[in-house]
Amino acid sequence: MTKQTDNNVELVSDMMSRYPDEWIFFEVVEDDEYGHPYKGRLIAHDPDRAKIHEIAVQSDVYHAAVWYTGELVPEGSIILL
């Protein structure tokens, strides 16, 4: 698990491309016109969702998000709703 100590604001898309197939936890600094996170401060990243969840639960960040940067459904899979 990697916690970040810097306060750099960056595009969420940049965070996602820098940590492929990992969970990222970030403070949302700016939303786009549709209300989706656009810019933020990375707080932590890790391939293990449980580790990120632990950090997120203990965080006092008011507006934050946890996203997975990889494919949620492997290619060739079928989802039934």
pLDDT tens for each residue of 33-56: 999 999 999 999 999 999 999 999
Full-model pTM: 0.84
| DSSP label at residue 33 | T
Note the pLDDT of residue 4.
62
Smallest Cα–Cα separation from 52: which of 61, 73, 75, 38? Answer: 61
Please report whether residue 29 resides in a domain. Answer: yes
Please report whether residue 73 resides in a domain. Answer: no
Digit-coded pLDDT (tens) for 1-22 = 566 666 799 999 999 999 999 9
CB 52 within 8 A of CB 23: yes
Please report whether residue 78 resides in a domain. Answer: no
Please report whether residue 28 resides in a domain. Answer: yes
Higher pLDDT, 74 or 52: 52
Number of structural domains (the chain) is 1
Please report whether residue 55 resides in a domain. Answer: yes
Beta strands in the chain (DSSP E): 2-3, 10-11, 23-31, 37-46, 64-68
Note the pLDDT of residue 5.
60
Structure tokens at 53: 């969840």
> Can you give the residue range of the structural domain that contains 55?
2-68
